[in-house]
Amino acid sequence: MAFVFFIKSFIMLHSPLSSLTSSHSFSSHKMGSGQFRSVNTFLLIICLFVIFVQQSSNALLLELSHNSKRSSESISSGCDIFQGSWSYDDTYPLYNASSCPFIEKPFDCQGNGRPDQLYLKFKWKPNRCELPQFNAPHFLRKFRGKKILFVGDSLSLNQWQSLACMLHAALPQSNYNLQKKGNLSTFTFREYDVSLMLSRNAFLVDLVEENNRRILKLDSIQNGDAWRGYDVLIFNTWHWWLHKGRSRSWDYFQEGNKLYKDMDPLVAFEKGLKTWSRWVDSNVAPSKTQVLFQGISPTHYDGKEWDAPIAKSSCIGQTRPILAPEYPAGPPPPAAVVKKVLANMSTPVTLLDVTTLSQLRKDGHPSIYGDGPDSHEGKDCSHWCLPGVPDAWNALLYGILVRNGQLK
């Protein structure tokens, strides 16, 4: 608007009418008044230009303010927090393994002798928004008197221990209690009466023994009775469906009354996941319980997936993440199955879509510094060091809980 006014004023000052009003003046007076008008015109042009620049600057500042506000609000307005990149951050890690005495030995890579530390220094940053900073006291205050249950395999154990460490490291003087009974582990912050619980259940569906046969029942989920009454449920399954030979924990699949000696793991996985989805739809009240599904956690046993120059390379010796937006091999097939099943559910389930961001962290596994029973030919490229990648999963979990209103 200021610019338009500036142009109009300039035209009026230089129009023929302006010249006509002084055409009958004496020549000496004409020269003086002309000079006077020229000076006034010049000064007016300067003033109008200053006004134009000032208003333009104000408009720019206002726009920047709006953009900043949109950026800060984007976590709650549809920003995809799972699209981003890993960024070096000197404030990381969020805790030291030595200050978290309950870390399982297979995850304690530094304690097991891993010499490099660069892998500890990377933070996940979404492309279009900022994740809220993890605030342990705020988390515990908002979940006072509540229970969070992780249900799944050792990748759930990885995330559960990560969250417990993140909370404990921020409040080291807060009393806690850790107990294990059967397949259920409970970590309680007594001061806040908050319980973080883990139910080890590799398949979600029932695995039973009948007539000396181990049977994986793809359409039965009676163990789901133990998942009732929680405020947050975080499920995970996949890795055990891939086991073969002696590492298999079942002898037969069962669907209906029919037994199957073998089945495509992806087909069996989808059948089991659909059974789980029906249980959630029938037994969970969204007004009382928030349900999440931990996305597929990738492995890094095959260097061809990330275009490694050395044949047969794996996670061993990897010290840096892949600094690219996508993983060269693309998402693993079970990730599509998970999204398909969740999309057809009537109960809202939030996907903690950690697959791509974790694929980029070929450096984050215990490799030969795991010292665990789940290593593959002397190396573990399935689980994750702690501190490490699961801390990012929990930062994303925190962001989701903020976005969904549990932590407002």
By mean pLDDT, which of 38-52, 69-83, 94-108, 191-205 is the weakest? 38-52
Q: Buried (b) or exposed (e) across 60-93, using 16+ Cβ within 10 A?
A: eeeeeeeeeeeeeebbeeebebbebbbeeeeebb
Residue 97 DSSP class: G
Query: Per-residue pLDDT for 40 more than 60?
Result: no
User: Can you say whether the dihedral through the CA atoms of 91, 94, 95, 97 is positive or negative?
Assistant: negative
Q: Which pLDDT score is estimated for 277?
A: 98
Q: Which helix (H) or strand (E) holds 5?
A: helix 2-13
For the whole model, what pTM was predicted?
A: 0.81
Locate the domains of the chain by residue range: 83-404
Told to judge if 168 belongs to the known catalytic residues of this protein, a careful annotator would answer no
> Which of these is catalytic: 154, 185, 199, 367?
154
**162 carries an active-site annotation:** no
pLDDT score for 324 = 87
CA angle 357, 358, 364 (to 5 degrees): 130
Is residue 365 annotated as part of the catalytic site, yes or no? no
d(CA 177, CA 239): 30
For residues 236 and 295, give the distance between their C-alpha atoms in angstroms, rounded to a whole number. Answer: 7
Pick the catalytic residue: 108, 206, 353, 380? Answer: 380
**Per-residue pLDDT band at 408 (split at 50, 70, 90):** low
Tell me the mean pLDDT in the region 153-179: 95
State pLDDT tens for residues 261-299: 999 999 999 999 999 999 999 999 999 999 999 999 999
The catalytically annotated residue of 239, 300, 365, 383 is 383
Mean pLDDT of 235-243: 97
Reduced to 3 states, what is the DSSP secondary structure of residue 38? helix
> Encoding tokens for residue 121?
């220094």
State the pLDDT confidence band at 60, using cuts at 50, 70 and 90: very low
What are the phi and psi torsion angles at 349 (to 5°)?
A: -125, 125
Strands 252-255 and 258-260: antiparallel
The confidence band for 37, taking pLDDT boundaries of 50, 70 and 90, is low
Q: Is 80 exceeded by the pLDDT of residue 391? A: yes
Cβ-contact 269, 253 below 8 angstroms = no
With both helix axes pointing from N to C terminus, report the angle between 2-13 and 27-73 in degrees, rounded to the nearest 10.
170
Beta bridge partners of 198: 150, 185
Is the predicted pLDDT of residue 126 greater than 50, yes or no? yes
CB neighbourhood size of 130 (10 A) = 14
Q: Please, what is the average pLDDT of the chain?
A: 85
